[in-house]
Amino acid sequence: MKTKEEIIHAMALTYRQDYNLRKGPKEPNWTNGMTEEDAKMLYKTMEQLYNSNIEPYMEFKNAHKSSK
């Protein structure tokens, strides 16, 4: 089973394929990669989506499994 952090990381990679690539703040926009600050902001955004729209349903799914 994947951890919460692994799921959020995968969500960020789905949204931006260059999420794992880092670049300096002075590199041009057209190069692949994200600055460390941009990557942190994307992770926080994906974490908010996860917390609001995914995690509540995962809890329901787990409760449903344990009732069998």
Taking the C-alpha atoms of residue 60 and residue 53, their distance in angstroms, rounded to an integer, is: 12
Predicted local distance difference test score (pLDDT) of residue 67: 54
Q: How far is CA 17 from the centre of its chain?
A: 12
Predicted local distance difference test score (pLDDT) of residue 57: 83
Tell me the Cα Rg of the chain. 16
Answer yes or no: are the C-beta atoms of 50 and 7 closer than 8 Å: yes
Q: What are phi and psi of 22, to 5 degrees?
A: -105, 145
Predicted local distance difference test score (pLDDT) of residue 60: 58
One pLDDT digit (tens) per residue for the chain, 68 residues: 789 999 999 999 999 999 999 999 999 999 999 999 999 999 999 999 999 999 988 765 555 555 55
Predicted local distance difference test score (pLDDT) of residue 12: 98
